[in-house]
């Protein structure tokens, strides 16, 4: 197992910008893609990831001080600190007895599911395997059972792969990534809830007729509706909320900070889609080569390339929804704390809210108003789950030698709360942590747990029903072709 762990660490240390092109090149060679196309495509994908990560760094670097000041301006005083996604990652990789098992068995499980046509997604996003380990770490800490914790991790992989399959049409048609799916645990786990809420909005008068996607806004308001202007306007609002109260203290510096926030977020809206297009320039030839190979040898067979959700967060509507959710999340944290449903102070992960907005934006087809409504429900759930897991997160983070901020009693993060499918699987084993949270929190947690299970069942039923319909149509076509033959 030590050797497996060394291989895992080697892959993780290289990073996606290096390993992703290598994996794609090997995949292209296996599927007989022309060598020149394979080399150019793989390298272009790597450059695309570098560009995407640079823009994400710009976004996070701009939003981090903004969100910190907004939290201070709101005067929040909650006892669970959001220390960001690194805490969850540290917990996952800190459970070293589980890590090599999930990596080895997870990759094997993916190949088995593809072989038996149980999934269409080939997950090459190895860097995010820690999300599968996350729930396992809690179960292992609660039960001490290695076998049970591995089973929880593998079940998470199955759920995420199926959700990736079922959401692939939105990824390909709306977000514009042909041949791609997104087996990213803390984003795709929310797809069923987003789908259910979007269907509910379909039946609400006025809201169901509201057209608020970037194209409609641009058509109605002209240049003011362009993505760059929407980003600059939202940046202006966030800048005023963050730096506005201090204008009287230092007018020149704070006006400069407000303008810088506005222009930077406008730039993010403009540059992000271009970086995604660069990635797609390399990915499409490889994807087309895989399709051509499969169509020749396995007619009717599809294979999706499973990538990181970072590839689509730059969609203008998604960035807009994610940015608008920043002040809304802070407000929700206050309101939920008043009724005993939240103890977490949103902070570090506020800068990455566009990740959590993906399946609010996707199901609403870019309708920003719908996206904000769906995303707000997501954030309510994320705050509840983040609070739910805070005591165990703190204990496990200490064991993993994660640096706890001085003066902080409990830590968690919005990313911890976003691990919805992992949470659903671990709840039966960690339910005793609710004993110290109070009756109100218990009620809210149970309600959200039941709502999640309901959404998962309804979404899976709908998806399987449609899949079966598609299979029947293919069989009917084959019967017609054979009768003509």
DSSP string, 466-485: HHHHHHHHHHHHHHHHHHH-
Residue with tokens 């240390």: 13
| Closest to 122 in 3D by CA, of 306, 307, 311 | 306
Question: Which two three-digit tokens encode residue 473?
Answer: 């149509």
Instruction: Determine contact, residues 291/179, Cβ cutoff 8 Å.
Output: yes
For all residues of the chain together, what is the average pLDDT?
85
| Closest to 174 in 3D by CA, of 198, 207, 208, 206 | 198
Count, in order, helices (H) and strands (E) of the chain: 19, 6
H or E, element range at 305: strand 304-306
H or E, element range at 80: strand 80-82
Length of the chain: 485
Cβ neighbours of residue 309 closer than 8 Å, sequence gap 6 or more: 182, 184, 187, 188, 355, 358
- Per-residue pLDDT at 335: 93
What is residue 124's three-state secondary structure? Answer: coil
**CA 316 to chain centroid:** 16
Cβ neighbours of residue 349 closer than 8 Å, sequence gap 6 or more: 82, 84, 85, 413, 414, 415
- Per-residue pLDDT at 1: 57
Within 10 Å of residue 115's Cβ, how many Cβ atoms?
A: 9
- Per-residue pLDDT at 471: 47
Q: How far apart are CA 30 and CA 24, in angstroms?
A: 10
CA separation (Å) from 358 to 12, 59, 240, 483?
25, 16, 26, 45
Give the pTM. Answer: 0.85
Sign of CA dihedral 429, 430, 435, 440: negative
| Closest to 232 in 3D by CA, of 272, 264, 275 | 264
| Closest to 99 in 3D by CA, of 123, 131, 125 | 131
Give, as one character, the DSSP assignment of residue 405. Answer: P
Planar angle of CA 53, 55, 60, nearest 5 degrees: 90
**DSSP per-residue string spanning 17-49:** HHHHHHHHHHHHHHTT--HHHHHHHHHHHHHHH
Q: How far apart are CA 173 and CA 170, in angstroms?
A: 5
Q: How far apart are CA 254 and CA 232, in angstroms?
A: 16
Instruction: Determine contact, residues 310/322, Cβ cutoff 8 Å.
Output: no
- Per-residue pLDDT at 476: 47
- Per-residue pLDDT at 477: 41
For the chain, residues with pLDDT lower than 50 are 471, 473-485
Going across the sheet that includes 304-306, the strands are 121-123, 304-306, 180-181
Residue with tokens 């992989």: 157
Q: How, if at all, do strands 121-123 and 180-181 pair?
A: unpaired
Q: Where are the alpha helices (DSSP H) in 300-342?
A: 316-338
What is residue 463's three-state secondary structure? Answer: helix
Q: How far apart are CA 431 and CA 8, in angstroms?
A: 32
């Amino acid at each position: 197992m030590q050797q497996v762990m060394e291989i895992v660490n080697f892959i993780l240390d290289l990073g996606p910008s290096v390993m992703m092109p290598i994996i794609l090149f090997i995949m292209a060679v296996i599927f007989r893609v022309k060598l020149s196309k394979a080399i150019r495509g793989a390298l272009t994908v790597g450059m695309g990831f570098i560009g995407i990560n640079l823009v994400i760094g710009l976004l996070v670097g701009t939003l981090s001080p903004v969100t910190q000041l907004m939290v201070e301006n709101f005067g929040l005083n909650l006892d669970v600190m959001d220390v960001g996604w690194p805490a969850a990652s540290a917990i996952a990789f800190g459970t070293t007895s589980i890590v090599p098992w999930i990596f080895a068995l997870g990759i094997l499980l993916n190949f088995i599911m593809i072989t038996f046509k149980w999934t269409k997604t080939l997950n090459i996003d190895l860097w995010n395997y820690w999300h599968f380990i996350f729930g396992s770490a809690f179960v292992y800490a609660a039960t001490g059972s290695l076998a049970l914790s591995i089973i929880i991790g593998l079940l998470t992989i199955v759920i995420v792969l199926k959700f990736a399959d079922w959401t692939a049409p939105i990824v390909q048609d709306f977000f514009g990534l042909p041949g791609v799916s997104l087996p990213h645990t803390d984003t795709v786990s929310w797809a069923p809830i987003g789908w259910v809420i979007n269907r509910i909005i379909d039946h609400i008068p006025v809201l169901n007729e509201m057209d608020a996607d970037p194209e409609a806004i641009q058509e109605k308001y002209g240049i003011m509706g362009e993505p760059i202007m929407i980003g600059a306007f939202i940046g202006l609002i966030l800048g005023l909320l963050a730096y506005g109260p201090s204008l009287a203290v230092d007018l020149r510096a704070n006006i400069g900070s407000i303008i810088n926030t506005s222009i930077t977020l406008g730039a993010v809206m403009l540059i992000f889609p271009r970086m995604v297009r660069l990635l797609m320039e390399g990915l499409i030839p490889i994807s087309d080569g895989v399709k051509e190979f499969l169509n020749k040898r396995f007619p009717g067979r599809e294979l999706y390339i499973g990538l990181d959700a970072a590839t689509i967060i730059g969609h203008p509507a998604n960035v807009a929804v994610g940015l608008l959710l920043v002040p809304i999340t802070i407000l929700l944290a206050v309101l939920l704390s008043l009724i005993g449903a939240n103890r977490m102070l949103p902070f570090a992960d506020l800068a990455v809210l566009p990740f959590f907005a993906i399946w609010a934006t996707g199901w609403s087809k870019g309708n920003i108003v719908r996206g904000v409504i769906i995303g707000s429900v997501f954030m309510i759930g994320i705050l509840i789950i983040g609070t739910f897991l805070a005591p165990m997160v703190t204990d496990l983070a200490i064991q993993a030698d994660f640096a706890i901020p001085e003066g902080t009693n409990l830590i968690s993060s919005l990313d911890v709360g976003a691990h919805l499918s992992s949470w659903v699987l671990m709840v039966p084993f960690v339910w005793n942590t609710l004993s110290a949270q109070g009756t109100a929190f218990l009620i809210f947690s149970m309600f959200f747990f039941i709502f999640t299970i309901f959404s998962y069942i309804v979404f899976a039923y709908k998806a399987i029903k449609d899949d079966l319909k598609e299979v029947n149509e293919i069989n009917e076509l084959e019967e017609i072709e054979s009768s003509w033959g």
